Structure 1
């Protein structure tokens, strides 16, 4: 541990300047671009941080045990599934998240993936670059009047819902914790969402209860030709079941920004599938969101440390 200043450990290679400006009373130590759990444990042993800002990697029981001064683990974003919350609670360590800081960025990316699927943007671009002109043979999906089912109605899900409503879509939403929904979101059970949705977009955290929420059984219960969008967590989808549903035509197309194993292994079964549009979990990665998440993570941690 620093002899002069208490330490903030950042499980990444950098933090926004606006966030660093809030941490002048602390020494900030970086774990690098892709820290392993062992890397984080070693840095905890070396520096005994009072706070950890989690960007990449996992903060588990070993890291917490290696940092006896640790008071707070603050997520640089909203998803806290990479933090051992049970161990944190047992040790009296608070876990906080910058909820909503990247809501605009992720919701916009989810809509971009939905539009890419509905309008065959990637496939048509590749055909055009190869010299083809498919105007006489291609028909896109018109989203106005269609139903989109949202799983999760937090800041991201509700922002996406507002965009979908503005496009003339009917919005169904499932979230047992959401209250005071806007009038354009119709609260629905999962069975209704599977049965009535033309597109499904995932915006919920990953928990033990909803792992592989989209699986062979639930995908079979969906409308034939449904579009699937996931900008939340890869573990929400049974990837083998989704691939089979894509190939059978039960799922028309999918836009995916998160995966069961990240970085995605290569080769991967999704590679080369024309009706799956992929992006490397960058829905929340914008210049604006980077600042908002960093500032939110720093402020949340300081709030705990300062009582």
Structure 2
């Protein structure tokens, strides 16, 4: 039986490069789709010093099941699935692999924007069905238009750089952003809704911004705006977005995240024209898998090292 301290991973795997960093620990995997109950049971059984969170989340019950727990490390940038208040009360550090998947997610956001502007998905299907719509189809040219970014962290700024290179005017809202590049103009949300031809979400989900895209904010946007979300599904009021797409207020929506994941079947977006959908895979690339695993492992080890130093 191993006497190494345990790291619990809420998934079935971790990049080999990350596992190599954790060689002095016993790594326990929770499986492909662990429930909260699964994680509680494993925490109680193994009393981990660290949890690396890929799927599901970590609540107070999990923390209380693992008295040795010192760090909860997110395999990614969004920590909304971790009860941070409960962690703070118990002196447990919460870390994120900030920027590790920035390129992957920004590229997915740009892919969704282009798919919406250029009708990539619809035209592909029409071609496969034997149609030739050259005489009747007009796509949208993005050069010279304005894209509004909500969130200007690592992912938002990576997207902004690509948008600027394509000749888009980039405006953005982020109360925490500092030292923005000269091609990003900081604006308030009222200006962003009013001036954007396309809006892309790159912010964490918080109680304050839940349902940020809703009937009221969509009504303040330009008619025919494109909405892209590779952040968190809870940022969007989904019935309101459906209504706005159906009315034409929103030209198209490109979505990689949803209020409930996995997406419920059936879902109100299913079969609806005007939606390009992907299953929250923006950060799922071979490179990002390694980058996020290594960053999560490094963050875990850094906290544990500080904890050991403090008790030495």
Structure 2 length as normaliser, TM-score? 0.98
Matched, 1:151 2:120: no
In structure 2, the partner of 1:175 is: 174
- Aligned pairs for 1:45-84 within 5 A: 45-84=44-83
Contact 2:2–2:26 at 8 Å: present in 1 too?
no
Alpha-carbon distance between aligned partners in 2 of 1:123 and 1:193, rounded to the nearest angstrom:
28
Alpha-carbon distance between aligned partners in 2 of 1:111 and 1:274, rounded to the nearest angstrom:
20
Structure 2 gap segments, 5+ residues each: 307-312
In structure 2, the partner of 1:89 is: 88
Matched, 1:11 2:10: yes
Give the Å deviation of 1:274: 1.7
Alpha-carbon distance between aligned partners in 2 of 1:231 and 1:204, rounded to the nearest angstrom:
9
In structure 2, the partner of 1:288 is: 287
SS at the partner of 2:43? Answer: helix
Alpha-carbon distance between aligned partners in 1 of 2:281 and 2:269, rounded to the nearest angstrom:
18
Alpha-carbon distance between aligned partners in 1 of 2:184 and 2:122, rounded to the nearest angstrom:
32
Alpha-carbon distance between aligned partners in 1 of 2:57 and 2:99, rounded to the nearest angstrom:
21
Provide, for residues 178-201 of structure 1, a one-character-per-residue CA deviation record: whole Å limited to 9, x for no partner.
000000000000000000000000
Give the Å deviation of 1:3: 4.9
Structure 1 gap segments, 5+ residues each: none
Give the Å deviation of 1:58: 1.1
In structure 1, the partner of 2:301 is: 302
Alpha-carbon distance between aligned partners in 1 of 2:156 and 2:31, rounded to the nearest angstrom:
31
Contact 2:9–2:27 at 8 Å: present in 1 too?
yes
Structure 1 length as normaliser, TM-score? 0.99
Provide, for residues 106-131 of structure 1, a one-character-per-residue CA deviation record: whole Å limited to 9, x for no partner.
00000000000000000000000000
- Give the alignment's Cα RMSD to 1 decimal: 0.6
Provide, for residues 80-123 of structure 1, a one-character-per-residue CA deviation record: whole Å limited to 9, x for no partner.
00000000000000000000000000000000000000000000
Sort the Cα spacing of 1:16 and 1:306 in 2 relative to 1 into closer, same or farther, 3 A: same
- Aligned pairs for 1:260-279 within 5 A: 260-279=259-278
In structure 2, the partner of 1:125 is: 124
Alpha-carbon distance between aligned partners in 2 of 1:275 and 1:32, rounded to the nearest angstrom:
36
Give the Å deviation of 1:50: 0.2
SS at the partner of 1:158? Answer: helix
SS at the partner of 1:96? Answer: strand
In structure 1, the partner of 2:21 is: 22
In structure 2, the partner of 1:139 is: 138
Provide, for residues 230-279 of structure 1, a one-character-per-residue CA deviation record: whole Å limited to 9, x for no partner.
00000000000000000000000000000000000111110011210000
Matched, 1:226 2:225: yes
Tell me the number of residue pairs that the alignment of Structure 1 and Structure 2 aligns: 306
SS at the partner of 1:306? Answer: helix
The structure 1 segments of at least 4 consecutive aligned residues displaced by more than 6 Å after TM superposition are: none
In structure 2, the partner of 1:189 is: 188
Contact 2:12–2:30 at 8 Å: present in 1 too?
yes
Matched, 1:210 2:209: yes
Give the Å deviation of 1:142: 0.2
